[in-house]
Amino acid sequence: MGEAEFEAAVSDALDAVPQELMAMLDNVVILVEEEPEGPEKELLGLYQGTALTDRGWEYGGVLPDTITIYRGPTLRMCASEEEVVDEVAVTVVHEIAHHFGIEEARLHELGWG
């Protein structure tokens, strides 16, 4: 799957998230990158920022949080384009959930891990 098709899969996954949830995203940008930096080379997605549940009165004037979806690891773990599309959808929801303060263990319990 090429870069454009992968980005379209991410866009489609975002379109599938209920508008009520998307409207509650606050100060977040969503990026697509080829590979993660650092030791976790098979990371599919990453949320970096301050979850809504951790923001207090002092939160403000900060750069946007980022949700990054990684193309390389996703393509390596999936055997078909259909699997890529499904995995991207799960990864997008998983990372958005972190923005809402849902921890990794809970996401795995719910089947989004």
> What does pTM read for this prediction?
0.88
Structure confidence at residue 113 (pLDDT): 64
Q: How far apart are CA 9 and CA 96, in angstroms?
A: 16
pLDDT digits (tens, 9 = 90+) for 12-59: 999 999 898 888 888 899 999 999 998 888 999 999 998 878 777 887
- Percent of the chain whose pLDDT exceeds 90: 58
Domain residue limits at 17: 3-109
Nearest Cα residue to 44 out of 109, 106, 104, 110: 104
Q: How open is the CA angle 79-85-90, to the nearest 5 degrees?
A: 105
Q: How far apart are CA 69 and CA 92, in angstroms?
A: 7
Q: How many domains does the chain have?
A: 1
Name every residue whose Cβ is closer than 8 Å to that of residue 38 and which is 6 or more positions away in sequence.
none
SS3 state at 58: coil
Structure confidence at residue 108 (pLDDT): 72
Write the CATH number for 27: 3.30.2010.20
